Amino acid sequence: MAGSTDLLSAAPIPAGPPLWLLAELTYQCPLHCVFCYNPTRHAQVTDELTTAQWVDVMTQARNLGAAQLGFSGGEPLLRDDLEELVQEAHRLGYYTNLITSGVGLTPVRAQKLKDAGLDHVQLSFQDSTRELNDFLSHTRTFDLKQRVAKLIKAHDWPMVMNCVLHRHNLPHVRKIIDMAVALEAEYLELANTQYYGWAWVNRDHLMPTREELAVAEAEVNAFRAEQDAKTEGHKTRVLFVVPDYFEERPKACMNGWGAVFLSIAPDGLAMPCHNARDLPGLQLPNVKDVSVADIWQRSNAFNTYRGDAWMKPTCRSCDERHKDFGGCRCQAFLLTGDAAETDPVCSKSAHHEKVVAVVRDAPRRRNIPIVFRSDAESKALHEPPRSAPAAVAAPQGGAFTASGGRAP
Ligand code: FES
For ligand 1, pick from 198, 253, 278 the residue to mutate: most ligand atoms within 8 Å of CB. 253
Ligand 1 centroid, distance to 94 Cα (angstroms): 24
Separation of CA 198 and ligand 1 centre (Å): 15
- State the Cα angle at 279 between 316 and 354, rounded to 5°: 65
pLDDT at 312: 96
pLDDT 10s digits, 382-391:
986 655 555 4
Q: Closest ligand 1 atom to the C-alpha of 253? A: 2
What digits encode the pLDDT tens for the residues 317-333? 999 999 999 999 999 99
Q: Is the pLDDT of residue 405 over 70?
A: no
Mean pLDDT of 130-141: 94
Which residue out of 37, 275, 324, 338 has the highest number of ligand 1 atoms within 8 Å of its CB and is therefore the one to mutate? 275
More confident residue, 199 or 10: 199
CA atoms of 21 and 18, how far apart (whole Å)? 7
> pLDDT band for position 400 (50/70/90)?
very low
pLDDT at 1 over 60: no
> How far apart, in whole angstroms, are the C-alpha atoms of residue 269 and residue 402?
36
- What pLDDT, in 10s, does the model give residues 91-105? 999 999 999 999 999
Q: How much is the pLDDT for 129?
A: 96
pLDDT per residue as tens digits for the range 136-187: 999 999 999 999 999 999 999 999 999 999 999 999 999 999 999 999 999 9
Residues with CB under 6 A from ligand 1: 196, 253-254, 273, 275-276, 328-330
Nearest residue (by CA) to ligand 1, atom 2, is 328
pLDDT per position as a tens digit, 28-54: 999 999 999 999 999 999 899 999 999
| Centre of ligand 1 from the C-alpha of residue 276, in Å | 7
CA dist 240 and 165 (Å) reads 10
Q: pLDDT tier at 401 (50, 70, 90 boundaries)?
A: very low
Which pLDDT tens digit goes with each residue over 8-22? 988 999 999 999 999
The closest-lying atom of ligand 1 relative to the alpha carbon of residue 257 is 4
Q: Please tell me the distance between residue 194's alpha carbon and the centre of ligand 1 in angstroms.
A: 10
Q: What is the mean pLDDT of residues 210-231?
A: 94
> Which atom in ligand 1 lies closest to the alpha carbon of residue 196?
3
Higher pLDDT, 334 or 403: 334
Q: Percent of the chain, pLDDT > 90?
A: 87
Amino acid at 78: L
Distance CA 88, CA 224 (A): 38
Sequence-separated contacts (24+) of 382-391 with Cβ below 8 Å: 382/40, 382/41, 382/43, 382/44, 391/367
With 0-12 / 13-18 / 19 or more C-beta atoms within 10 angstroms meaning exposed / middle / buried, residue 283 is exposed
Ligand 1 site-directed mutation target among 22, 244, 254, 282, most atoms within 8 Å of CB: 254
Q: How far is the CA of 329 from the centre of ligand 1 (A)?
A: 5
Pairing status of strand 261-264 against strand 270-271? antiparallel
CB 118 within 8 A of CB 77: no
- With a CB cutoff of 8 Å and minimum separation 6, the contacts of 70 are 20, 21, 22, 23, 96, 97, 98, 99
- Which residues are registered as beta bridge partners of 160? 122, 187
pLDDT of 2 strictly over 60: no
pLDDT over 70, % of the chain: 93
Whole-number Å distance, alpha carbon 331 to ligand 1 midpoint, is 7
Nearest to 180 by CA among 238, 229, 230: 238
> In the predicted model, what is the mean pLDDT of the chain?
92
| Cα–ligand 1 centroid distance for 252 (angstroms) | 9
CA of 385 to the centre of ligand 1 (A): 28
Q: Which neighbouring-strand residues pair with 269? A: 286
> Tell me: the pLDDT tens digits for 250-272?
999 999 999 999 999 999 999 99
